[in-house]
Amino acid sequence: MSMFSRFAMVMFLVVAATAATNDFEVVEHLNKLNKPSMKSIKSPDGDIIDCVHISNQAAFDHPSLKNHKIQMRPNYHPEGMNFDNMKVSSETQETINQLWHLNGKCAKGTIPVRRTKKEDVLRASSIKKYGKKKSVSSVAQPTSVDLDLINQSGHQHAIAYVEGEFYGAKATMNVWDPQIQQSNEFSLSQIWLLGGSFSEDLNSIEAGWQVSPDLYGDNNTRFFTYWTSDAYQATGCYNLLCSGFIQINNEIALGASISPISKYHGSQYDISILIWKDPEQGNWWMQFGKGNVLGYWPASLFSYLTESASMIQWGGEVVNSASDGQHTTTQMGSGHFPEEGFGKSSYFRNVQIVDGSNSLRAPKDIDTFTEQPNCYDVQTGKNDGWGSYIYYGGPGRNPNCP
């Protein structure tokens, strides 16, 4: 055998061994995420929803939660709750569902978990980074003066925000299916509850809807959550893709598709989200719609958020990869600017915060921020029907946003 042949054989064996190791690591990771189920439901969009016993969920793999006793209900709800039903914002009322509901439901005592597939993990740059945001640039930094540095991160936002001492936030947002230019970009609309500085110690709790081809393998609009206690470095993840969030609800699956979706100049479908801190236990609870208490982030996961949030943000975020030297055409929200208004633009309505007395109230001194208003913009307002509201979004690349 020639030296070249021996070298080729060695390289082949190295590549084969590396592939086998990587494959083993992927399977091992899938076994950690996909817990044994009591029942599995095939969703029309191709998802598989596993009904996992509540005590077997991935949350309890977290070192600080090994002996955690599940809190099956919050001790307190915020006072003054005025939850809108999940409905069309018009004269008719139609419920927003998740697609998997068409083919079954999970029994009480279990939670619905979107099954992670091998191809989901392989789309990530590494197993370690699967299910995670990439950096602190995922948060709008309205107090920063270095917009050039922010724009280089590729993440762009159009948000309204308040600063102070907060114990929760709430809003009703309409749901869209923004177009994504390429698979490594995403578009989301959410509530951020932040604590700490915009550096390595940032704490964040987030919830809303998103379109993310890299994460889910399609362009469906999905309900999601996120958390981190160290600025997206090592802690936290989307949905239930790591240990942390404890789910108690058997009806809503984190990461599952939402249906139906708002139509331009047509019916508007929206969802309501409330996140608040239990004054007794200190855990951060989340409610989806009217009566769907989903679960909680234990206070032990955080540093700054063990006390309170120092900033609340409502709005949208996209990734602008600028791969062809131009701004992305990935849309935010409906893909239309705020000034187009109801039925055309994306919105948050009945925007509220939870104060130190555990009461919901309209926020004071709402500010706005966007890195490039010609690409994505934001406006705020107030009226009797919607209370404090926000219109936001945009098309991305256009004649004024090259």
340 is catalytic: no
The single residue of 206, 280, 339, 340 carrying the catalytic annotation is 206
206 is catalytic: yes
> What tokens appear for 393 in the block?
């979004």
Neighbour-count burial of 134, counting CB atoms closer than 10 A to its CB (0-12 exposed, 13-18 middle, 19+ buried): middle
| Number of Cβ within a 10 Å radius of residue 402 | 10
| Number of Cβ within a 10 Å radius of residue 38 | 13
Q: Give dist(CA 285, CA 196) in Å, integer.
A: 20
For the chain, what is the total number of helices (H) and then of strands (E)?
4, 21
Strands ordered across the beta sheet of 187-195: 237-238, 222-228, 203-211, 187-195, 309-319, 155-166, 367-370
E strand map for 59-186: 97-98, 110-114, 155-166, 168-174
Q: Give dist(CA 12, CA 248) in Å, integer.
A: 49
CA dihedral of residues 247, 289, 142, 321 (deg, nearest 10): 70
Task: Give the distance from CA 11 to its chain's centroid.
Answer: 42
Sign of CA dihedral 184, 189, 193, 194: positive
The single residue of 307, 317, 339, 371 carrying the catalytic annotation is 317
By C-alpha distance, which of 147, 137, 273 is closest to 204? 137
Q: Give dist(CA 49, CA 134) in Å, integer.
A: 26
Q: Give dist(CA 255, CA 298) in Å, integer.
A: 20
Q: Give dist(CA 254, CA 222) in Å, integer.
A: 8
Q: Contact, 301 vs 195, CB < 8 A?
A: no
Residue 322 φ/ψ region, left for φ over 0, alpha for ψ in the -120 to 50 degree band, beta for the rest: left
Residue numbers annotated as active site: 206, 317
